[in-house]
C-alpha cells in the first residue's frame, strides 16, 4: 500500500492536469482523477513494469477513463449528475480545481488550435509536450514503437507550427 501511496502522490498532479485540459467542470476533473486512481489500485497487482513505466500506465488508464466519460456524455447518460448529488466537492476544493482549470486555459487553447491534426498527432504532442512523458513512456501509452513516436512528435510539431502561423 505504501508503494501505491507514493505512486499516487508522484502522479496525481499530472493526471489531474490531463483532465483539467479537457474539462471545464471541477467536479468532472475530480471524478475522473479519482476514477483513474481507483482503477489503478484495482489493477495494481497486475501491473507489468516490462510493458512500460508506472506513469505511462496511469496515463493509459486516464485516457481510457476520459474516452468512457465522453462515451457516457455522448449517449446522454446521467451518471455524472447522480454522483455529483451524492459527493459534492467542498467549496475550497472546488475553488482550487477551478483555479487549476483556469491555469490550464493556455493548454486548452493550444489543444483547440491543433484540433485539425490527427488524433494520434494530438496524443503524441500532449503526452510528450504537455504531460511531460518521455517518448518511451508515451509510446507505451499509445502502443506504438518509440522510434515511430519520435518521428510523429517531430512531424506533429511542424504541423502545429504551421497551424499557429496560419491563425
Claim to verify: residue 60 and residue 13 sit in the same structural domain: yes
Using CA of residue 145, residue 147, residue 150, residue 156, what is the dihedral sign? negative
Least confident of 12-16, 23-27, 146-150, 151-155: 23-27
- Residue span of the structural domain in which 158 resides: 105-167
Claim to verify: residue 41 and residue 79 sit in the same structural domain: yes
Task: With a cut of 90, say whether residue 8 has pLDDT above it.
Answer: yes
Task: With a cut of 90, say whether residue 167 has pLDDT above it.
Answer: no
> What is the model's pLDDT at position 19?
93
**What does the block give as the cell for 6?**
507514493
Claim to verify: residue 25 and residue 38 sit in the same structural domain: yes
Question: What CATH number does residue 109 fall under?
Answer: 1.10.10.10
Q: Which of 88, 103, 118 delimits the end of a domain? A: 103
Q: Which of 40, 34, 31 is nearest to 1 (CA)?
A: 40
Claim to verify: residue 99 and residue 148 sit in the same structural domain: no
Claim to verify: residue 88 and residue 116 sit in the same structural domain: no
Q: How buried is residue 12: exposed, middle or buried, by Cβ count under 10 Å (0-12/13-18/19+)?
A: middle
Claim to verify: residue 139 and residue 94 sit in the same structural domain: no
The whole-angstrom separation of Cα 72 and Cα 145 is 31
pLDDT in tens, 13-72: 999 999 998 888 899 999 999 999 999 999 988 888 888 889 999 999 999 999 999 888
The whole-angstrom separation of Cα 161 and Cα 167 is 10
pLDDT in tens, 92-129: 888 888 888 887 776 677 767 778 888 888 889 889 98
What total number of domains does the chain contain? 2
Claim to verify: residue 98 and residue 112 sit in the same structural domain: no
- Which 8-state DSSP code applies to residue 167? -
Claim to verify: residue 16 and residue 77 sit in the same structural domain: yes
Claim to verify: residue 87 and residue 114 sit in the same structural domain: no
Amino acid at each position: 500500500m505504501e508503494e501505491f501511496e507514493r505512486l499516487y502522490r508522484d502522479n496525481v498532479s499530472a493526471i489531474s492536469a490531463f483532465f483539467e485540459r479537457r474539462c471545464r467542470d471541477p467536479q468532472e476533473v475530480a471524478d475522473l482523477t479519482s476514477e483513474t486512481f481507483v482503477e489503478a489500485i484495482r489493477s495494481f497487482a497486475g501491473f507489468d513494469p516490462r510493458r512500460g513505466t508506472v506513469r505511462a500506465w496511469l496515463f493509459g488508464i486516464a485516457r481510457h477513463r476520459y474516452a468512457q466519460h465522453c462515451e457516457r456524455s455522448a449517449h446522454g447518460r446521467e451518471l455524472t449528475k447522480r454522483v455529483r448529488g451524492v459527493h459534492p466537492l467542498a467549496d475550497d476544493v472546488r475553488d482550487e480545481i477551478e483555479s487549476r482549470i483556469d491555469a490550464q486555459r493556455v493548454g486548452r487553447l493550444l489543444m483547440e488550435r491543433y484540433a485539425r491534426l490527427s488524433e494520434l498527432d494530438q496524443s503524441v504532442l500532449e503526452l510528450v509536450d504537455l504531460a511531460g512523458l518521455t517518448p518511451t513512456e508515451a509510446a507505451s501509452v499509445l502502443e506504438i514503437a518509440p522510434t515511430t513516436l519520435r518521428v510523429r512528435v517531430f512531424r506533429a510539431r511542424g504541423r502545429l507550427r504551421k497551424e499557429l502561423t496560419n491563425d
